[in-house]
Structure 1
Amino acid sequence: MQLITISGLDGSGKTTQLDKLERSLKDANKKVSRFHITEFSIAKKILGRRKENSSKPARAVVSANSFTITLRKIALIIDATRFNQLFRKLSSGYDYLLTDRYFYDQIVNIRYLEKINDGEKIPAWQRLAEKLIKKPDIALFIEVSPEVAVSRDRDIEQGKQFLINKQCIFDYLIKHWEIKLINGEGTACEVFKKIKEISKI
């Protein structure tokens, strides 16, 4: 079973392209499973439960205290291990596993919250996580400017500067993770054509 991951900023069109890729593979009689890294995360379940018990509405995370950041790091390690077990279970029944975001996105989120902007600095928790994270057969990043992302998704409450800062962190690490860049500023069909060319599917 091949693992294909698509990362990118909110508003980059990840889900649209995964929908197209899934349909294309199924049309070719391939067995496809779909996976969303955020929904899988133990951290989301724990933090979500805390928010359910709060009278305040949930907001996008742009800052966090040291306890919450530590919780996210621990959850990342646990989730990477859980994912490896899930992958083994699915591998005999499917040809492809497509993921909406990947653990790389979670690492970027933690680095953003921890304000680690030095691209050459790989902290110990990240090195440990990378040893556990299954390397994708094809890892893609749909690249759009923050301006385009905001124009596509006006519900991005964190704002343009948040996207700029996250893009900078991704820029440092894309080569480190051997992720292939896809220009996402064309039409959905144009972007999908590039994905098929690069992934050779």
Structure 2
Amino acid sequence: MTKTIEGETFRNEDWYGDEFTDNTYVGCTFLHVDLMEASTRGTVFQGCTFGNVKFNASRHTDSAFLRCAFTRCNFFEAEFTGCKLVGSTFTDSALRPLRVSGGDWSFVGLSGADLRGVTFTGVRMREVDLTAANCAEAALIDVDLSGAQLHGVNLVRCDLRGSDLSALDPGTAQLTDAIIDAAQAVVVAQTLGLQVR
């Protein structure tokens, strides 16, 4: 039976390996909670705060973390499949090696995040804030980055094939050895004011 939990604070909880299905948490606070190897399916967290929470090796499927704040959390080897994180922010959190497949990460705040080697595939990330984020050797494949904030982003050796790069200013990003396809090359050239014939 599904239930909604509102405004509660969970502190120093040990939920290692637990399974969460279909419940909804609204405006809840999670502090020093162990969610290592835990899993969520169809679970919704709305306007929740996570502080020093361990998400190591956790698995999240068709769940939602809407307008949530993650501070000093650890996502080592965490996986998100078909999840919505619209409007959430990550601050001083360990996000690698993170794997994300599908879902909607639009308007997510990842400014200055260390995303080296992470994998995002087929994810909607419209207007995501990747200002000064380190995405070196990451894979952002078939990702919708339209309207994204990419000033100062490090995309060295990043695989960007199939992604929307219309918001990318090559003059403000590090792009050495980044991998793009032919269609993207045209977009980048046009951004630089070149004529492609």
Q: TM-score by structure 1 length?
A: 0.24
Structure with more of its chain in strand, by fraction: 2
Structure with more of its chain in helix, by fraction: 1
Using CA pairs below 8 Å that are at least 6 residues apart, which structure has the higher relative contact order? 1
Q: TM-score by structure 2 length?
A: 0.24
